Amino acid sequence: MTSGKPPLQTGPLTPERDENEPREGGADMEQRKMQIDSGGGNCEGIDARLQAQIGQKLKAMYDEVAQAPIPDKFLDLLEKLNSQEKSK
């Protein structure tokens, strides 16, 4: 724990953590995954680690596209549709 590595498997188990957790909404979900991720170590921990890993990969896959610049073809199309609307 003295190194800079994140504690992947050694986090303490906190079985009571489910009690106060928010259950709804995207942001809450993310937070929940992170909480689960910090409590690994046994078989359940493996699943929680996997879940957290999957969540991160999903988000990364989505963000990679969501943060890419908009291709010109869409801007051109919008321009065209918009001028068609106007001329109606």
Give the C-alpha separation, 79 to 8, whole Å.
49
Least distance (Å) from other proteins to the CB of residue 40?
A: 11
Asked if 24 is part of the footprint of other proteins (rule: CB under 8 A), the reply reads yes
Q: Which of residues 44-73 bind other proteins (CB under 8 A)?
A: 46-47, 50-51, 53-55, 57-68, 70-71, 73
- Taking the C-alpha atoms of residue 48 and residue 30, their distance in angstroms, rounded to an integer, is 13
Question: Least distance (Å) from other proteins to the CB of residue 11?
Answer: 16
The per-residue DSSP string of 16-59 comes to GGGTT---SSHHHHHHHHHHHHTT-SSHHHHHHHHHHHHHHHHH
Q: Provide the binding-site residues for other proteins, judged by CB under 8 A.
A: 24-27, 29-30, 46-47, 50-51, 53-55, 57-68, 70-71, 73-75, 77-78, 81-82, 85-86
